[in-house]
Amino acid sequence: MNLPLLEIRDLHLWMRSFEGEAHVLNGIDLQVQRGEIWGVVGETGCGKSLTGLSVSRLVPTPPGRYGSGQILLDGQDLLALDESAVRSLRGRRIGMIFQDPTTNLNPSFRVSEQLIDVALVAAQHSPEILGLEKGASQRAKRAAARALAGQMLVKVRIPNALDRLDDYPHQFSGGMRQRVLIAMALIGRPDLLVADEPTTALDVSVQAQILILLKEMVQEFNMGVLLITHNLGVVAQTCSHVAVMYAGAIVERGLVAEVLARPRHPYTRALLAAMPTRATPRGGLEGIPGTVPDLIAPPPGCRFAPRCGRASATCLERSPRLVPLATGHEVACVHPLPQEGV
Amino acid sequence: MIQFLLRRLLLTIPVLLGLTALVFVIARLLPGDPVALAAGPNATAADIAAYAREFGMDRPLWVQYLSYLGGLLRGDFGVSIFTRRPVIEDLAAYLPATLELVVAAMTLAMLVGIPAGLWAAAQRDRWPDYLSRVVALGAISMPRFFLGLVLQLVFAMAMGWLPLGGRFPITEDLPLRVTGFLTLDALIAGDGHAFKVACQHLLMPALAMSLSPLATLMRMMRASTLEVLQQDYVLTERALGLPQRLILLKYVARNAVSSTLTVTGLYFGWLLGGTVLVETIFDWPGLGLYATKAVVTQDFMPIIGVTLVIGTLFVAANLVIDLLYGVINPKVRQP
Amino acid sequence: MTAALSARREAWRRAVYRFGRSGLSVTGLVLVLLLLFLSVFGPWLAPYPEHITGSISTAARFGAPSAKHWFGTNEMGQDVLSLVLGGARVSVLAGLAVVLLGAAVGTVVGAVAGYAGGWTDELLMRLSDLKLTIPGLFLAMAVAAALGPGIVNMVIAIALSWWPGYARLVRGEVMAKKEELFVTAARAVGAGPGRIVFRHILPNVMTPVIVKMSLDMGFAILTVASLGFIGIGVKPPMPEWGLLLSVARSYMPDFWWTAIFPGLAIFLAVFGFNLLGDGLRDVFDPRSKR
């Protein structure tokens, strides 16, 4: 196995707030290879967005504070770099897409302008994306960037892409805008893509299209992807692997088919059970009793223990680490569910 | 875009009409008898009556108003009892001076105030930001006439660097009048010396006038920049590698400026009416001085004329601002 | 009942704490209190109170600042310090009168417009808009000249250009409050519109009005001084700061103290009120700043 594209090792993050310091990331371990689409699922507040933001070092510090732990991109620790070094990676090696397409495009600038600027900045350290000779003029670079922008819009399947290159964001529909944002995230040819709830704000009919598009792009550019979502359906459709997060830690991870068919962590099972399907009988929805723990004063040991029907005394002693079960399937639980189907 | 423009223009007509009516009524409410004043202390009743007839003041009020409106459409603003010239000639003589002063002041205010506001927002909560707040509050508290006086004291009387007042030395030739702005006319005529002299005279009065709008523009720009910095698209721009400088100076600035521009239009109108004080201190031959004299002698034709002109310019300035807003914010263009 | 009271007291205490943390706001408060103090006790504190009422002393003309005359003397031998202290009362009273009158008129107009809505609203708002088209100082000048000399007329003239701001503010607040539950309740009990507006709605919109009043005080004083400078409304021997400045102009630069001290007085008074008003606004309406 060669070096993973992205490796997060034992990442700890505290966030200072009015009431105190919350331990929001409690030892995140994750590895993403090129070509893998990792779904990161969990309820609101479990830390999945913060994990995504951490990869690009977009969490402001203060009020954030990283503890021990590393974020390795092709072996290079991002947490150890200075700001300008990290900035040169953004857009060029790491692309990001956020949730709401209406507010993530600058309304006062044409789409071409925004795409071109991202491309030009990326080209400063990776001039090959423009495909020009060394020492090309600024004008030539701009023209090449514009051509590239047009190509990207075509790639993300915007109808009449070249005609619409100079349109303003408000002239696009929601789904189209998200495509533009995907184009913007990929124009620098990043190796890693972090997508934070990319379809949550879209119509259901559009969601599927965007997910298919994402899959195509991943294959074409051979990227690794962190797809952050709370929607297990999205994970089932699009991802190759899944990591389930609870209260700042990954409790289960592995191949999508494996984890969703044979969940071993009580939380994962409860999550799957809480999802309504066509087969769910009326009044048959199961919620998960209890509430998310207070991260300023988290419970000792396993953070899910207070809500877990299988908790024992050992669960309250130490926070369980991820333990491999079958190939690629790991669970952080002292009493994992027995091997059986759901 | 044309529709937008036409619609706005159409809306201004009733406003202007209302303005004329209002001003006419106010001016007529002035007690005292300007005719008697103009006729002089030794005039007999017959003399005064003759004056009254000459100026059409013996007719009923609504007739006077209608004839005034009619005159307006013909470009006739009445005659000033005091200067004995048609008001429109007086206006043409004094208006450019005031306009030049106000335009210079607003330009200074924008050139300094807007970047300063952007910078203050970028330095939020650090000492430059704090300092800018104090300076801004101090600037709007400073009486314009006192500031002008102090400037005169220091730069003209003590150091002798700048002239004491006036627009242009009497001893020298004015550049050929094209726009009425001495600075522009000098540039058009290619007369470097005249340009320098005109600017020297313009500098202190423009400074005195610009301080207050400068401060307000700075505060507004700071506030709107801070608001823009909270937007989602700024995070996306950062996430995709754009340097902070580019984000601030290009992407944030344009979004932040639009609300500041609206204030600029308002300020333009206020300044037009507020030149009196500075014109007095610097002997600047503008509308303010003309209007003051008219008020003191209760000469209402000039009062109405000046108010109309200022009101119209104010409305025009706001129209320009609305148009500029449409340019900056493309969403506005589509009704 | 006690819960609501203690909640209010808590909010009040927090507001005071926040206010106290800002050095600028406290400075403003100090300046304003000083000004108010001087406006009441000025004439007693002045070393030469007779000068305030107009007596002159030609022998002591144009004395530079000295131990006997801290701010020097003017062209009529009057002690500039005494004149400045006397002027404090004039400025503060006139400014206060302007703001109170403008606020009173504006509040009534705005409340009526906001509550009545429809044609009344449109009419009143167009009227106040029209007022705004004419730059304030100029309007004040014209009206003051029309009404004749005297400080009372000057106050009325300035207040006339001041009220639209309050009208607009109160109208907005009243329109918002109009839909709230307690109004419907009052109406159900049978209260007439007048009673509803004045007993129920207005007390709730007072806070922004008071904040605006404190913000406006500075500019009111500035406007009074401006008109005094032009020579409208106040006449000698009233020691109004703007008037003092305009007279002193002719004696520049040799006798600079006759102008500098009255000018500084205007600046500090306005600055103090602006600092205070800014601080108050921060405390009562924090979203407008940070």
Cα B274 from Cα B278, distance rounded (Å) = 8
Nearest Cα of chain C lies from the Cα of B176 at a distance, in angstroms, of 32
Spell out which residues of chain B touch residue A92, defining contact as CB-CB under 8 Å. 241
Q: What is the pLDDT of residues A266-314, one digit of tens each?
A: 888 888 887 776 666 676 666 777 777 888 887 778 888 778 877 777 7
Judge contact between A121 and B241, C-beta under 8 A: yes
Q: How confident is the model at residue C4 (pLDDT cuts 50, 70, 90)?
A: low
Question: Which amino acid appears at position C191 of this protein?
Answer: A
Examine the predicted complex and report whether its ipTM is higher than 0.90: no
Nearest Cα of chain C lies from the Cα of B41 at a distance, in angstroms, of 19
| Residue A132: φ, ψ to 5° | -110, 170
Residue of B232, B238, B329 with shortest CB distance to A108: B329
A70 contact B CB<8A: no
Scanning B220-239 for CB atoms below 8 A from A yields: 231-233, 235-239
Q: What distances in angstroms separate CA B83 from CA B78, B91, B291, B302, one per listed residue?
A: 12, 12, 12, 10
Mutation site, B240, B252, B334, interface A, largest A CB count within 10 A: B240
Nearest Cα of chain B lies from the Cα of C126 at a distance, in angstroms, of 9
pLDDT > 80? residue C263 = yes
pLDDT value at position A328?
A: 67
| Residue A329: φ, ψ to 5° | -105, 120
pLDDT > 60? residue B335 = no
A121 contact B CB<8A: yes
- Say whether the peptide bond before residue B169 is cis (omega within 30 degrees of 0): no
Cα B207 from Cα C148, distance rounded (Å) = 33
Q: What is the pLDDT of residues C107-145, one digit of tens each?
A: 888 888 877 777 777 777 777 776 666 666 777 777 776
DSSP string, B221-279: HHHHHHHHHTSHHHHHHHHTT--HHHIIIIIIHHHHHHHHHHHHHHHHHHHHHTHHHHH
DSSP run (H or E) holding A40: strand A37-41
| Residue A14: φ, ψ to 5° | -115, 145
Nearest Cα of chain B lies from the Cα of A103 at a distance, in angstroms, of 6
pLDDT value at position B8?
A: 67
Of residues B245 and B304, more confidence is placed in: B245
Q: What is the pLDDT of residues C31-64, one digit of tens each?
A: 888 888 888 887 777 777 777 777 777 776 777 7
DSSP string, C82-134: HHHHHHHHHHHHHHHHHHHHHHHHHHHHHHHHHHH-HHHHHHHHHHHHHHHHS
Angle between helices B253-273 and B87-122 (to 10 degrees): 150
Q: How confident is the model at residue B214 (pLDDT cuts 50, 70, 90)?
A: very high
Spell out which residues of chain B touch residue C278, defining contact as CB-CB under 8 Å. 137
Q: Which chain B residue has the Cα nearest residue A190?
A: B240
* Mean pLDDT calculated for residue range B36-61: 64
Q: What is the pLDDT of residues A116-170, one digit of tens each?
A: 999 999 988 888 888 777 777 888 889 999 999 999 999 998 998 888 899 999 9
pLDDT > 70? residue B35 = no
pLDDT value at position C26?
A: 84
A96 contact B CB<8A: yes
pLDDT value at position B105?
A: 93
pLDDT > 90? residue B125 = no
Q: Which of C239, C245, C243, C247 is closest to C260 using CA atoms?
A: C245
Q: Chains that contact A by 3+ CB pairs under 8 Å?
A: B
A91 contact B CB<8A: yes
Cα B41 from Cα B46, distance rounded (Å) = 13
A56 contact B CB<8A: yes
pLDDT value at position B128?
A: 81
Of residues C139 and B35, more confidence is placed in: C139
B46 contact C CB<8A: no
**Token pair in block for residue A188:** 């620098």
Cα C189 from Cα A118, distance rounded (Å) = 64
Residue of C133, C148, C218 with shortest CB distance to B141: C218
Residues in chain B: 335
Residue contact A90–B240, C-beta within 8 A: yes
pLDDT > 80? residue A111 = yes
CB-based touch A/B (3+ pairs, under 8 A): yes
pLDDT > 90? residue A327 = no
Of residues C193 and B306, more confidence is placed in: B306
Spell out which residues of chain B touch residue A192, defining contact as CB-CB under 8 Å. none
Residue A309: CB atoms within 10 A of its CB come to 7
Cα B167 from Cα B179, distance rounded (Å) = 15
pTM score: 0.80
Q: Which chain A residue has the Cα nearest residue B328?
A: A108
Residue B193: CB atoms within 10 A of its CB come to 10
Residue contact A92–B241, C-beta within 8 A: yes
Judge contact between B102 and C228, C-beta under 8 A: no
Q: What distances in angstroms separate CA B139 from CA A218, B16, C2, one per listed residue?
A: 57, 33, 46
- Hey, which of A242-251, A283-292, A325-334, C202-211 has the most confident mean pLDDT? A242-251
Q: What contacts B188, CB < 8 A, 6 or more positions away?
A: B175, B176, B178, B179
Judge contact between B291 and B95, C-beta under 8 A: no
Cα A105 from Cα A302, distance rounded (Å) = 41
Of residues C154 and A106, more confidence is placed in: A106
What pairs with residue A243 in β-bridges? A40, A253
Cα-based torsion angle of the residue sequence A95, A98, A103, A109 in order, rounded to the nearest 10 degrees: 10
Cα A117 from Cα C282, distance rounded (Å) = 39
Reduce the DSSP state of residue C182 to 3 states and report it: helix
Lowest mean pLDDT segment, chosen from A7-11, B77-81, B228-232: B77-81
pLDDT value at position A181?
A: 93
Mutation site, A93, A99, A106, A226, interface B, largest B CB count within 10 A: A106
Residue contact B241–A90, C-beta within 8 A: yes
Residue contact B243–A90, C-beta within 8 A: no
Percent with pLDDT over 90 in chain C? 5
Residue contact B280–C289, C-beta within 8 A: no
Residue contact B232–A100, C-beta within 8 A: yes
Cα B158 from Cα B164, distance rounded (Å) = 11
pLDDT > 60? residue B13 = yes
Spell out which residues of chain A touch residue B328, defining contact as CB-CB under 8 Å. 108
Q: Which chain B residue has the Cα nearest residue C255?
A: B153
CB-based touch B/C (3+ pairs, under 8 A): yes
The conformational region for residue A75 under phi > 0 = left, psi -120 to 50 = alpha, else beta, is: left
pLDDT value at position A182?
A: 92
Q: What counts of helices (H) and strands (E) characterise chain A?
A: 10, 13
pLDDT, chain B, mean: 79
DSSP run (H or E) holding A243: strand A241-246
Residue A48: CB atoms within 10 A of its CB come to 28
What pairs with residue A195 in β-bridges? A97, A227
pLDDT value at position C135?
A: 67
Residue contact B26–C271, C-beta within 8 A: no
* Mean pLDDT calculated for residue range A98-104: 91
Domain boundaries, chain A: 1-93+190-294+320-342, 101-189
pLDDT > 90? residue A196 = yes
Judge contact between A3 and A189, C-beta under 8 A: no
Beta strands in chain C (DSSP E): none
Residue of A121, A184, A185 with shortest CB distance to B243: A121
Residue C79: CB atoms within 10 A of its CB come to 26
Percent with pLDDT over 70 in chain B? 81
Q: What is the pLDDT of residues A206-220, one digit of tens each?
A: 888 899 998 998 988
Spell out which residues of chain B touch residue A149, defining contact as CB-CB under 8 Å. none
Q: What distances in angstroms separate CA A97 from CA A125, A173, A226, C8, one per listed residue?
A: 21, 17, 10, 45
Nearest Cα of chain B lies from the Cα of A316 at a distance, in angstroms, of 39
pLDDT > 90? residue A40 = yes
pLDDT value at position A185?
A: 93
Residue contact B22–C148, C-beta within 8 A: no
* Mean pLDDT calculated for residue range B124-135: 83
B275 contact A CB<8A: no
Q: Which chain B residue has the Cα nearest residue C144?
A: B295
Q: What is the pLDDT of residues C83-113, one digit of tens each?
A: 888 888 888 888 899 999 999 988 888 888 8
* Architecture category of domain A1-93+190-294+320-342 in CATH: 3-Layer(aba) Sandwich (3.40)
Q: What is the pLDDT of residues B139-163, one digit of tens each?
A: 989 998 899 988 988 888 878 888 8
Residue contact B307–C137, C-beta within 8 A: no
pLDDT value at position C288?
A: 47
Q: Which of A65, A96, A214 is closest to B238 using CA atoms?
A: A96
- Say whether the peptide bond before residue A62 is cis (omega within 30 degrees of 0): yes
* Mean pLDDT calculated for residue range B24-51: 63
Residue contact B296–C145, C-beta within 8 A: yes
Reduce the DSSP state of residue A96 to 3 states and report it: strand
pLDDT value at position C289?
A: 43
Q: Chains that contact B by 3+ CB pairs under 8 Å?
A: A, C
A101 contact B CB<8A: no
Judge contact between B278 and B204, C-beta under 8 A: no
Residue A19: CB atoms within 10 A of its CB come to 9
pLDDT value at position A54?
A: 92
Reduce the DSSP state of residue A26 to 3 states and report it: strand
Cα C288 from Cα B226, distance rounded (Å) = 11
* Mean pLDDT calculated for residue range B249-265: 83
Burial class (CB in 10 A: 0-12, 13-18, 19+), A43: middle
Judge contact between A3 and A76, C-beta under 8 A: no
Residue contact A89–B243, C-beta within 8 A: no
Residue of B22, B142, B296 with shortest CB distance to C267: B142
Scanning B141-170 for CB atoms below 8 A from C yields: 141-146, 149-150, 152-153, 157-158
CA angle C130, C133, C138 (to 5 degrees): 115
Q: What is the pLDDT of residues C182-234, one digit of tens each?
A: 767 777 777 676 666 666 677 777 878 888 888 888 889 988 898 888 877 77
Mutation site, A73, A108, A170, A187, interface B, largest B CB count within 10 A: A108
pLDDT > 60? residue C290 = no
pLDDT > 90? residue A114 = yes
